[in-house]
Amino acid sequence: MTLAQRLAAQAKAASFDSLGSQVVHEVNRRILDSIGCALGAWKSRPGTIARAVAQGVGIPNGAGLFGSKHRTTPDLAAFANGALVRYLDFNDTYLSKEPAHPSDNIPAALAVGQAAGSKCRDIVAAIALGYEVQCRLCDAASLRAHGWDHVYYGALSTALLAARLYGLNEAQMVHALGLAGVCNFATRQTRTGQISDWKACAFSNAGRNGVFAANLARQGMTGPNEIFEGPKGLFKMVTGPFELGWTKGADDWMICKTYIKFWPAEYHSQSAIDACLQLRPEIGDASKIESIVVESFEAAVSIIGSEPEKWRPTSRETADHSMGFCMACALLDGDVTRASFSDAKIRDTRALGLLDKIKIVETEECNAGYPDGIPNKLIVRTTDGRTLTRKVTYPRGHAGNPMTDDEVIRKFKTQAAGVVSEATADRIVNAAMSFDKLDNVAALIEFEALG
């Protein structure tokens, strides 16, 4: 069997009854967290543009847009809702040979599930499947190391979850993987240098294309054969051969190994932010900081600590991908929030002055601790002669230090404040946390936004 055939067989066998109760609970939590991230990004430029594009196409009995009764094509709904979920860089994360944000699969599953008339419990199974496929691929091989972006794996995972919800047979699923896999390579320029609006849309575009591929396969279109093993397939052209692990039981699904973000910043910075907040009371006045050395690991240094743009960000997308800037905000303000990346904050001379005192270096010790954890060790020297150190490996929200349900709900309500009423926020919380028991998706996503 080819890898695509094995994935199709595993996807076909996946069902709600194969999920343990903790897996179902994690899916419900990630749905709530994703909608909260979308509400926090409600007025963002990428989210507004993507929503406008989707609203330009209406079809009866299609897929809904968050906060609307408008129905559009499932691929456009996946794109528009996905851009909102991703914009703040606040949705969940998985780190391995390839980093990823697996809750990016959720908008695609909700869109296809609604259009296909799926039961909510079947959508839960599809979401768990999307996480499983994407995270297992991330475990198997790096794309970043070859200059390609992680969203390629998302085109495959969303194609397979969409195929499962559409009820495709195994042969059609293989074609869906071929259609999604042959044409969705994206360069990592998305996340390099000064970062643009497109970062919010990169995965949602892959998800849009994955849903589209599944629909084409549903209509009978065939896809390129041996998308992994072929002479011009993924193995030969990019990664080299690999095997995929797979769930070994009801409680062994990959979603349980992913991390909900505590702060709206690139994930590798989370432990550095945590360490800053722990040290802040000992430091006192931030003006007393003479220098900070951050001992870190290759992925963090490469992605958020090495390029010159990360030391003078000019967009929120670049600022939330600058470990040093995130640290400066934590030390100056006692928190990192959406407001930390406003235009005014990016130009704040105090933040920029502190940023100039920060140096990030790669160490073998920190490399050895990744990706099991994200070890960042801060060495702070003050003008009055003190040296303070703090190392954090498992920041709040990491699978090794998970957030409670109350913390997830509080995060949601913080993002929802001012976007929906308190009553609507409560209704969304109740619907998401019991999503597997709902009759239809509309009960969750058709809410009224304020203004």
Token pair for 210: 């994955």
Domain 3-262+423-445 has CATH 1.10.4100.10: yes
Q: For 296-343, how does the pLDDT look when each residue is reduced to its tens digit (9 = 90+)?
A: 999 999 999 999 999 999 999 999 999 999 999 999 999 999 999 999
Contact predicate 397/403, CB 8 Å: yes
Rounded Cα–Cα distance for residues 357 and 241 (Å):
44
Q: For 146-192, how does the pLDDT look when each residue is reduced to its tens digit (9 = 90+)?
A: 999 999 999 999 999 999 999 999 999 999 999 999 999 999 999 99
Q: Phi, psi (5° rounding) for residue 438?
A: -70, 160
Check whether 375 has a pLDDT greater than 80: yes
Q: Which residue, 164, 7, 44, 78, is CA-closest to 441?
A: 78
Burial 411-428, CB ≥16 within 10 A → b, else e = bbbebbeebbeeebbeeb
pTM of the full structure: 0.96
CB neighbours of 431 closer than 8 A, spacing ≥ 6? 438, 443, 444
Q: For 187-213, how does the pLDDT look when each residue is reduced to its tens digit (9 = 90+)?
A: 999 999 989 999 999 999 999 999 999
Domain limits of the chain? Answer: 3-262+423-445, 267-392
What pairing do the DSSP bridges indicate for beta strands 387-392 and 376-382? Answer: antiparallel
Domain 267-392 has CATH 3.30.360.10: no
Residues β-bridged to residue 377:
295, 391
Q: Which residue, 445, 410, 440, 450, is CA-closest to 427?
A: 445
For residue 450, how many other CB atoms are within 10 A of its CB? 12
